[in-house]
Structure 1
Amino acid sequence: MRLLTVATCNLNQWAMDFDNNLQNIKESISRAKAAGATIRLGPELEITGYGCEDHFLELDTVTHAWECLKDILSGDWTEDILCSIGMPVIQGSVRYNCQVFCMNRKILMIRPKMSLANDGNYRELRWFSAWKHKDQLVNFQLPNNISEALSQKSVPFGYGYIQFLDTAVAAEICEELFTPDAPHIELALSGVEVFMNASGSHHQLRKLDLRLDLIKSSTIICGGVYMYSNHQGCDGGRLYFDGCSCVAVNGDVVAQGSQFSLKDVEVLAAQIDLDAVASYRGSVSSFGEQASYKSRVLSVTVPYKLCQPFNLQTLPSSLIKIRFHSPEEEIAFGPSCWLWDYLRRSGASGFLLPLSGGADSSAVAAIVGCMCQLVIKEIKNGDEQVKADAIRIGQYTNGEFPTDSREFAKRIFYTVYMGTENSSEATRSRAKVLANEIGSWHLDVPIDSVISALLSLFQTLTGKRPRYKVDGGSNTENLGLQNIQARVRMVLAFMLASLMPWVQNKSGFFLVLGSSNVDEGLRGYLTKYDCSSADINPIGSISKQDLRAFLRWAAVNLEYSSLADVEAAPPTAELEPIRSDYSQLDEVDMGMTYEELSVYGRLRKIFRCGPVSMFQNLCYRWSGRLSPSDVAAKVKYFFKYYSINRHKMTVLTPSYHAESYSPDDNRFDLRQFLYNSRWPYQFRKIDDLVRAVEGSQIASAEFGRQENGEIASENGSGLGVPAAGSGNPKAGL
């Protein structure tokens, strides 16, 4: 029996923070060695942090990475343990994303990434080139300072594997696992038994099962040990890397790390019987047949053993049940961990949230409350880093530290209800009750006097005073009055965030949280530079439907029972006067439901549908419920307002990325913001399709009636199409 102990890890790295990253790497190696591991795998680009982006174009970034690697190799960190460490490397004037294999103070091999992630949130081709020479291992000359420190002049560079005396090991870097021609197949046929995947994979709702399915299937087909390591945390951008490092053997997961955690370092060890891999492969005759004639991948020979002999103290790790979080748990824990990283690294003293008592802002408040609960939990579990950060942010003195989430929230979380004459007592009450449940420092601030002052100024300048539509005003007046309220709230929120700590004799400043959801962003159902303008937004890429499910979950599991009432209330902006015969409702204002918006968003982004193909898809999806004319009217209405409001996405508050149809213009959804909102060519094609489809339906119906002896009415061919979106426009459209 060949027993091999391997260790993989989740690391909370921070882009360009080399001290922090180096410390985490060393800590992970120490823990791996303490667990008896002879292989340690870290995440992709772990020395620099994955999210450096254009900093990768700076020579300093590569130089500092080499300096950190020299620090690791100059000590005893790599003694008797194979360490795979991710960093950028320049070879022949070309920059590569690499895994550097190190052992016993030497570099054994440098493996450049061959398939780069270059879609969605990823732009690796902007900073790196892919290694295309699969049949080459070139001689890489180490930088002079590295060469002198290690007494090593060169190292093999390229695609290949490392052949030890008792096993063969190879890298498969992140995106390569997701490609149709993944390297692990031919590596397995060449005799590689251990695959090491260093990854930088972000969290997205309902995504983890795809990742784990690929990891399991990679060794179901050809056997072997698959190690997976990932970043975990916010490394400086919109993404939250969700960890979940794991080890799979012959298609079974034998170790799995956490997906959401406040820990900076998490190391996962597993004991593997490599003879079980050999037996698994030997039982599949087709594997042997293909391996017998397949061209072998190049290798680097290392005269060293990684396995330990048979002993009763080391037992192979058993199959475990994979842990998946529900979407509601993902919404609770992912943004909470992201917010904590952002808070502790930004130098801020807390968060301020305009809390309206509606679903979106209440969801954000609940996520901050969940963050406070997680902090207290980790402190009780003995995490000294979380404790130190909490003491600093909460400004505790005299040896005190947080022990209660509500008390901690009172120190680091302001909620502000900014009511007007249009606000209801119901929303005011819901905001107050929820704030009390979470423990936030809550302010109830009437803003009518500020609005009145602005309107008086306007009247002095123009001689006119606008009126709401329900009071006889025009659409223009109605829209302007709503926008004034919304933008006053933004100004007040930032003023309070900067000055309230000073008022309470605290140092620092508070970050303003936004609370617009992904569907509102897609439709543009928000006022530009209103409360949607904030420092960061934890729900900006989460759908209204998912948020409602989260509120129901949080009412029970986070023990914020008032969220049940929040979820049950109809969504309303409360920017127009409430009358006995009129109440402003979001879905009426938008002219579409939130459920429809989710459908439009997925078709537009995920399935890459333009107006015509979206119309065709929805004709099938909504067949029997809506006529082609109805579908056409809805599709046109959506694209009209999507294009009119697209400019708002250029100033969208940086949002936690959680949904694959996010309309974030800055990083994810790269489309123009100036459109011909009439879409003349596309809408004309839709009209042609409607006439063709409905014409054939009418002809078929008339033929059927004639066959049955009925007389077709000459006036019976018209189809009534209700006007889509006849409600009032939302402020800022």
Structure 2
Amino acid sequence: MAYKNIYGFLRAGVAVPSLKVGNPIFNGKEIQRIAAMASSKHKVKVLVFPELSISGYTCGDLFHQRVLLKSCEDALETLLQGTKTLDMLIAVGMPIKADNQLFNCGVLFHRGEILGVVPKTFVPNYNEYYEKRWFASSKDRISEWIDLCGQRVAFGENLLFQDTTSELCIAAEICEDLWTPIPPSSRHAMYGANLILNPSASNEIVGKHEYRQALVKQQSARCIASYLYVSAGQSESTTDVVFSGHGMIAENGRILEETRFAEEATFIFYDIDIEKLMNDRRKNNSFMGKFTEGVSYEKISFTFTDIEIGDIKREIDPAPFVPASKEKRTEKCKEIFTIQSIGLAERLLKTGIDTVVVGISGGLDSTLALLVCVEAFDRLKISRKNIIGITMPGFGTTGRTYNNALLLMKELGITVKEIAIEDACIQHFNDIGHDMSVKDVTYENVQARERTQILMDIANKESGLVVGTGDLSELALGWCTYNGDHMSMYGVNVSIPKTLVRYLVQWYADTAGDTLMAKILNDISNTPVSPELLPPDKEGKIEQKTEEIIGSYDLHDFFLFNMLRHGFSPSKIFLLATIAFRGKWREEEILHWLKIFYKRFFTQQFKRSCLPDGPKVGSICLSPRGDWRMPSDASYEIWLNELENMIIR
């Protein structure tokens, strides 16, 4: 669907023209053709061409020929006239005469107006490169303004190009500049640039493209910026070297789109997220730490006017906590499990405790917590019999979860206890005068708190530590009983979202092979999520299903990630969710559950304000001592108002 781009997205691209070395007029027309196509067909806003793309990079001593330099200016003039109607910032490479020297430059222009000329700073003169034979460094320039194509334009390496309609701020560096210990883009970023352009001409030798990838990924990550890199293509001279037209669009350490060795002129584009980058910068107070360098920058303004674009060209991950590939999932699950188990093991070592108590329900969370306990005890070489697993059947316990709990504990070789809670709860109902036929929140919470009391008291009796089982998603939604399952002495799942808990249990099952343990774990993974506090149905199956009450954890984990990790607005999260879950949930359903998410997230903060200790394992955590500090009585009004004012098409 088409939408007004008010969420910080920018459609940016890189292009490799099929050029003729030493024929600027031809090359200029080819650049114009690609730019026109990118604008009209794909609504690209920023487009970068390779280093010296007007002339061709491999002209050699022809760069000293006046006719070539004059033809480059003529080609640029034609290009400016031919792109006047395009609402697109274009960057091309060409030789520029200034200060009695010749500079290898990037020329940036918009709607026929040259915004600035950026000369290359680091001019390579080693191995196959002899650029100093023709070009001077930006450090050798004198002028800050030059005349080009009848326009007075800014000239220098320290230029910033600011869109007046958004937070977009562009800077450029050229090829070799990136390969230095402190690239110019590092300074550009600290002065405000969030999109770095790099017109380049990097030839191919075995393995070099991997190094280029690493450079672009690392620099975009260090600068918390997007990075558009494009190298000269195969139509350059092959007298001594070959160019591949390596193009990359990167964002904060990730390559989003890439091309290399395309047989003809090629063009790639992607929707980068400027808002996300700026949110990340503001959160990272090391980004501008002790920045005192007094370099002078010239800021040039331009204005994008057409902000309506088509379908978003960006991969929106519906499961941001879960790696997409099985290989990466396996790697991450192992790492997460290790962090959890070491966290618990160190707590036991430092307290001198060699016994833990954990409630086992036969559900996902308690299963993962128990597996972590087993791993921690094995690491410490403490007998698994010192793990006291307690199953506490109540009014809502089903045969499936009850049997799985017992089988799991038996297979793991821990100490098994069973303490039914019905009689204790009935006595408590009588004590407080509650009619147990009323299946309300009191009915449910009495059971949760009874279980916690049992765990705490047995921990006291055995000089042990109660291991909490609650996960990150439950904490975000407040889907736990205050001072019930909300409370423990150390919570190993505290920063594991529900969508990831399932994968962790499945991963452990895979490592168990074709065994009874694997079968138990797989059945637990396939059991509906439920606190089992209400009686089962007539067939003895789970009646109280969490996701039918508060919504899918797939949705809530998506909301949580984008709210906390990126600071996105409710309307932007809604937009992203409609794309990520297209075909699975209707827009009305997504909006309904998003409102529920915000209401619960705000109103349930009081439970997170007194959270037990537990290890952080990912980028999102709700510990009141670390990642998330929020007043328990904050208002959610402006967040809900934004959603209420949205118009669903």
Task: Give TM class, smaller chain.
Answer: 0.3 to 0.5
TM-score (norm 2): 0.48
TM-score (norm 1): 0.42
